[in-house]
Amino acid sequence: MAIPDSSKIYPREGDNQIVYLKNVITNPNIEVGDFTFYNDFVNDPKDFERNNVLYQYPINKDKLIIGKFCSIACGARFLFNSANHSMRSLSTYPFPIFYDEWNHGIWADKAWDNKGNIVIGNDVWIGYEAVILAGVTIGDGAIIGARAVVTKDIPPYTIVGGVPAKPIRKRFSDEVIAQLLAMKWWDLPPERISEIIKDIQFGNIEALIKK
């Protein structure tokens, strides 16, 4: 049995619309786990950094952290802190970043509200053209509906949708969720995952626990 290879760019032979995302990332402030893929049938998926990670300016040092085995659909976008024009000021106009015009470059970080990193757990499915905002953490196993706008943290194994995104339901019972979070199957070696993949696919949590 062949061992899955997470070092490929294109995991499917003859398919240039899907990439293993970590292998096309160059920005040190973007971290992606093994086997997470991005699909794009509109643009080149290798251009994920340019087209999908927006307003991530170096001055903020904010990070995009994505776990293992995530599925990211075409057009999903991650909007960082520089998109958040400050509401603490008397004006939302970003005077400080136009330092050539207004001579206030030393206040550049006051042009927006810094809400922190975007953290995506493992085995998360992010639907078509969903938008994830700065400061959001999405738990392991969550599902983000198509074109949802995620403004708040999402618990593990929770399905959300809408604008702004709201919980629809949990994927499993609290007991099964706790078992999956304790198991962390995504951290197992690929060869071990291959051995238990049938139980994962068929939802056989009892068999997984015994193994």
pLDDT digit string, tens, across residues 11-67: 999 999 999 999 999 999 999 999 999 999 999 999 999 999 999 988 788 999 999
Of residues 108 and 69, more confidently modeled: 69
The whole-number pLDDT of residue 85 equals 87
Of residues 204 and 149, more confidently modeled: 149
Structure tokens at 92: 């939302």
Residue 102 has pLDDT above 90, yes or no: no
Pick the catalytic residue from 12, 50, 61, 85: 85
pTM of the model: 0.92
The whole-number pLDDT of residue 108 equals 65
Other CB atoms within a 10 A radius of the CB of residue 13 amount to 6
Residue 87 has pLDDT above 60, yes or no: yes
The whole-number pLDDT of residue 36 equals 98
The whole-number pLDDT of residue 211 equals 67
Q: Is 104 a catalytic residue?
A: no
Instruction: Tell me what the mean pLDDT of segment 132-157 comes to.
Output: 98
* Alpha carbon distances (Å) from 44 to 41, 79, 82, 127, 171: 8, 19, 25, 18, 32
The whole-number pLDDT of residue 206 equals 85
Structure tokens at 189: 């070696």
3 state SS of 71: strand
171-188 pLDDT, tens digit each? 999 999 999 999 999 999
Of residues 86 and 193, more confidently modeled: 193
Instruction: Tell me what the mean pLDDT of segment 123-147 comes to.
Output: 98
104-126 pLDDT, tens digit each? 656 666 778 889 999 999 999 99
